[in-house]
Amino acid sequence: MRLLPALHWPSIRGRARADAGPLLLVVLVVAAVSLLAAAVPPLLRGTADDAAREAVREHPDESAVRVDARWEDDYGPSGGRVRNDRLARDVEDLGGQAEATLDAGLRDALQPPVTTVTSISLVLTDGSVQRHFQLDYLRSGADGPAVTWLAGRAPGATREGNPEIPLNGSPWEVQVGLSETAAAALKMRPGDHIPLEDEQRNKYNVKVSGVFRPVDPRDPAWRLVPSALRPVAGLDGAGTTRLGGLLSASSLPDARLAFLQDQLRRTVWFSAEPDRLTWESAQRLAATVATLKAESGTSAERDTSLKWQTQLDGVLREVQAQVDAAYGQASVLLIAVLAGAVLVLLLAADLLMRRRSPALIAARQRGASLPGIAGELLIESLVVAVPAAALGIAVAFAVAGDAALPWVVPVASCGILAGPAFGTVAAARGTRDRRTPANRAARLFAQRTAQLRRAALDAAVVLAAVGAIVSLRQRGVGDSALPAAAPALAVIAATLLLVRLMPVVTGVALRQSLRSRRPLAVFGAAQAAATASRVLPLLVLTTTTALASFAVTLSATTGSGLADGAWRTVGADARLDVAPDETGSTAALAAKIAAAPGVTHVVAGDISGGVRVVTNDTSLTPNLVIVDAAAFHRLLASTPLPDAPGLDQLGKGGRDGIPVLVRGSLHPGLSLRLYLEDDQDSGASGGYSTAENAIKLTAVGAAPAIDGMDDVVVIDAAALPGTPDTIWATGPGAARAIDAVAASGHPVVRDAVLAARRSAPLTAGLRALDLAAAGTLLALGMLGFALGAAAGAPARWRTLARLRTLGLRTRDTRRVAAGELLPPVLVAAVSGPLLGVLLVRLTLGPLSLRLITAQSADPPAVVPWWLLGVASIVLLLTLVAVVVAEAAVRRRRGLGDVLRAGGD
């Protein structure tokens, strides 16, 4: 018994040769879409990695993993403290112990540990003001950080061995090295003692052993304790300066004795290595540290076990949201492209089936089995689709360094299976015994059954689409495929409904044209009505056009959202956040900026964060903005930012308190009480009655968005004078003018903010994907249209040839052909963009576009009508090109050939 069907190899070769064109198209579609589907996920992963690296680079300290451990008790048998001359080794062991806790993958994502031992900050009692001193022991790498001793020597031990010293003795001497900068600042030399005491005025005996210069000032250890190299301002409060003394392995045991248990802290630092960090390893690292933190959190308070800390999870949280949003959008776009490609491949299979149907039916009639026919067709499609998919995957691998194989499965499967399935079904149908019933009732029953089957299929697709949309709107894209497929399913469902309407619409058009006296209109409408029930061509064209419109609209909305986000972040063309010590000259700076060429509006304001406002029984801490309301209104009016008509109300005064505008948790109509910290002395209340230190406010309107702040209270500077610390400027010269005074603060330029956001890895990657998906879908639509036209071409031109025998002119045949092909193009050109725009409106929120555009709320959909118009024109031009090409091909065949009996 034969298990495998007999294959006729000459037929396989002959069919492939005869249909080389359509098969080549299948190769192109499978290869191109496989490339896109396989390359995008790893590329996106790459952008996520880049985003994680960028976030870590921007927040190095928060991203570092820090491990603390308490000291072991060093009390000796006589109640004194015992010197431990192996202390430096113990500290080093702590680093090794912490490193061993992390798995190898995570260790690769971290820089080698840096171990620090730092003392409390001591006060210098040399007569200088607010100078502090800290003792530091640093260990990076094998014996780093290396230093060169310029004078004196490395700190040595005060006493060798492990003697026990009494608790109440005089301060234990400890030797430190000073950097040349610190030595110069302190005016000290080797052998000098540094006069130090703590807050309780306890004296410390610290002796300078030598003066050093770092071999490599970029050693990570110096970054962790910069005061060991140079004086650092502000670490111990406003106006303070901290200097450092370097301990050695020999002097560290003495430092342990010089300080109390809690005055010396030993820490191991693992800085994240951005270049080796990936999105995945960053997340694993944060999760591991969170687990270690939870496990060690309580015990480390009591014993010497390791206590883990990091803020990496916080750093990644914002990136996480953006990455999730980017993955969601990318999934949606990829599924859209896959849906378009699968439909085009089905259309190609339909074309092949139509071309081969007579030969397949003849082969079946001559005795070929259906499994044999299916096997022959499967061999052909395997030869065509598998290498094409492999080529796409290989190029994706070359481009992206990896390939997402699961994403290739739908398009490769369709390329392999659609042709054999369509061909086998055609052969089976063409040779089955079932005949059309002669009985009218039976015919009607069969017709109704077929209609019911179609309706059930349509209903299933519509239900799936509704379910997917609901799922997307309720839960976002997430990890499930159904919400990500929502736009594609919704478009397919809507197009199916349009397809079912097409026969009705073309029937009406035909009836109308029959009343006209223009024969071409009648023939065109008749041809269109004859082909109106074909599902695939319209489905492909409308689906791809709608999804391309969706992608283009998403891209335009993102672009507009980024611009809007930059406006809201800066509040003008440029802004200067005046340095705290320069706020006294804010007015002069504003005047200077206003005088610069190309500056149209300048406003200075005072922004205070976290002021206390009480309404009813609720206390809030909004940002208080004190600004010249009228000038600020004029400035806002010169920008695309939303108008704030309420600003005009602020200058009018009020009986129940100062009129203010509010935003965020506060809303107009509220009576508020404002409490200003430490302002009673400065007279900031402006002479208003401040019963119980509160200023009465009345919210008279909505405040404009200012610098992306959530809760805001805006007060006119005439009502409550402030100390301006922010300058907004608009006009073409604003950025240059603000940059010119950059030394007085921190300039924020809108164009720069926008450029940075546009070029951010995730944003740039997504926008590129938007456009790539739109282009691919449009190309698939054009290809689908050409394939659909090719499938119907024989019947179309046979009818046109018959009309020519009746006297239709050759040039008019093209018009009639265009008339037949026009309805699906018109439907796609009109409904495609509308469906795309509707989809964007439905899915903007769930796709979390605001996270990509850095806006506080979902951006409104921005419809690039001109671009959608261009897409529609491209479709119409494709129609013209197809008709002209078809006419040229048919012209080569004589009219007589076309009309031979049975021929086409």
Partner 1 sequence: MTAPLLTVRGVHRTFGSGAAAVHALRDISFEVEPGTMVALVGRSGSGKTTLLNVIGGLDRPDSGEVTVDGVEVTGLDEDGLSRLRRERVSYVFQNFGLIPVLSAAENVGVPLRLARAEPKEREHRVELLLELVGLADHARQRPGELSGGQQQRVAIARALAASPRLLIADEPTGQLDAETGLSVMALIRGIVESEGVTALVSTHDPVMMALADRVVRIADGQLLP
Binding site for partner 1 (CB under 8 A): 510, 514, 517, 519, 522-523, 526, 529-530, 799, 802-810, 894-896, 899-902
Comparison of 169 and 894: residue with beta carbon closer to partner 1: 894
Burial class (CB in 10 A: 0-12, 13-18, 19+), 610: exposed
| Min separation Cβ 896 and partner 1, Å | 3
Burial class (CB in 10 A: 0-12, 13-18, 19+), 534: middle
| Min separation Cβ 453 and partner 1, Å | 21
C-alpha–C-alpha distance, residues 859 and 840, integer Å: 11
Comparison of 7 and 899: residue with beta carbon closer to partner 1: 899
Comparison of 592 and 798: residue with beta carbon closer to partner 1: 798
| Min separation Cβ 869 and partner 1, Å | 32
Comparison of 367 and 807: residue with beta carbon closer to partner 1: 807
Comparison of 107 and 804: residue with beta carbon closer to partner 1: 804
The residue to which tokens 């998919």 are assigned: 389
Q: Which helix (H) or strand (E) holds 138?
A: strand 131-140
Using DSSP, state whether 155 is helix, strand or coil: coil
- Residue partners of 761: CB distance under 8 A and separation at least 6: 46, 47, 48, 50, 51, 54
| Min separation Cβ 901 and partner 1, Å | 4
Comparison of 324 and 904: residue with beta carbon closer to partner 1: 904
Say if residues 115 and 130 touch (Cβ distance below 8 Å): no
DSSP class per residue in 717-729? TTTS-----EEEE
| Min separation Cβ 434 and partner 1, Å | 18
| Min separation Cβ 379 and partner 1, Å | 33
- Residue partners of 569: CB distance under 8 A and separation at least 6: 707, 708, 748, 750, 753, 854
Count Cβ atoms below 10 Å from residue 401 Cβ, excluding itself.
12
Max Cα-Cα span within the chain: 125
| Min separation Cβ 498 and partner 1, Å | 20
Q: How many residues does the chain have?
A: 904
| Min separation Cβ 837 and partner 1, Å | 34
From 628, 574, 627, select the one nearest 600 (Cα to Cα): 574
Comparison of 13 and 802: residue with beta carbon closer to partner 1: 802
Using DSSP, state whether 401 is helix, strand or coil: coil
C-alpha–C-alpha distance, residues 363 and 358, integer Å: 9
| Min separation Cβ 9 and partner 1, Å | 27
| Min separation Cβ 764 and partner 1, Å | 52
Count Cβ atoms below 10 Å from residue 79 Cβ, excluding itself.
9
Comparison of 519 and 654: residue with beta carbon closer to partner 1: 519
| Rounded (10°) angle between helices 750-758 and 761-805 | 70
Comparison of 517 and 655: residue with beta carbon closer to partner 1: 517
From 90, 86, 84, select the one nearest 163 (Cα to Cα): 84
| Min separation Cβ 882 and partner 1, Å | 22
Comparison of 346 and 525: residue with beta carbon closer to partner 1: 525
| Min separation Cβ 510 and partner 1, Å | 7
Buried b (16+ CB within 10 A) or exposed e, 502-511: beeebeebbe
Comparison of 337 and 808: residue with beta carbon closer to partner 1: 808
C-alpha–C-alpha distance, residues 880 and 878, integer Å: 5
Comparison of 597 and 807: residue with beta carbon closer to partner 1: 807
C-alpha–C-alpha distance, residues 251 and 117, integer Å: 12
Comparison of 440 and 655: residue with beta carbon closer to partner 1: 440
Comparison of 869 and 894: residue with beta carbon closer to partner 1: 894
C-alpha–C-alpha distance, residues 462 and 484, integer Å: 16
CA dihedral 351, 355, 357, 360 (to 10 degrees): -120
Comparison of 151 and 795: residue with beta carbon closer to partner 1: 795
Q: 3-state SS of the chain: helix, strand, coil percent to 5?
A: 60, 15, 25
C-alpha–C-alpha distance, residues 850 and 708, integer Å: 13
Comparison of 519 and 775: residue with beta carbon closer to partner 1: 519
- Tokens encoding 227: 């005061």
| Min separation Cβ 427 and partner 1, Å | 23
| Min separation Cβ 900 and partner 1, Å | 6
Say if residues 174 and 205 touch (Cβ distance below 8 Å): yes
Using DSSP, state whether 842 is helix, strand or coil: helix
State the distance between the two ends of the chain, measured CA to CA, in whole angstroms.
42
| Min separation Cβ 439 and partner 1, Å | 15
Q: What angle do CA 280, 282, 284 make, to 5 degrees?
A: 70
From 335, 510, 384, select the one nearest 15 (Cα to Cα): 384
| Min separation Cβ 536 and partner 1, Å | 20
Comparison of 536 and 816: residue with beta carbon closer to partner 1: 816
Secondary structure of 628-656 in HEC code, one letter for each residue: CHHHHHHHHHCCCCCCCHHHHHHHHCCCC
Count Cβ atoms below 10 Å from residue 360 Cβ, excluding itself.
27
| Min separation Cβ 504 and partner 1, Å | 13
Q: Which helix (H) or strand (E) holds 224?
A: helix 220-224
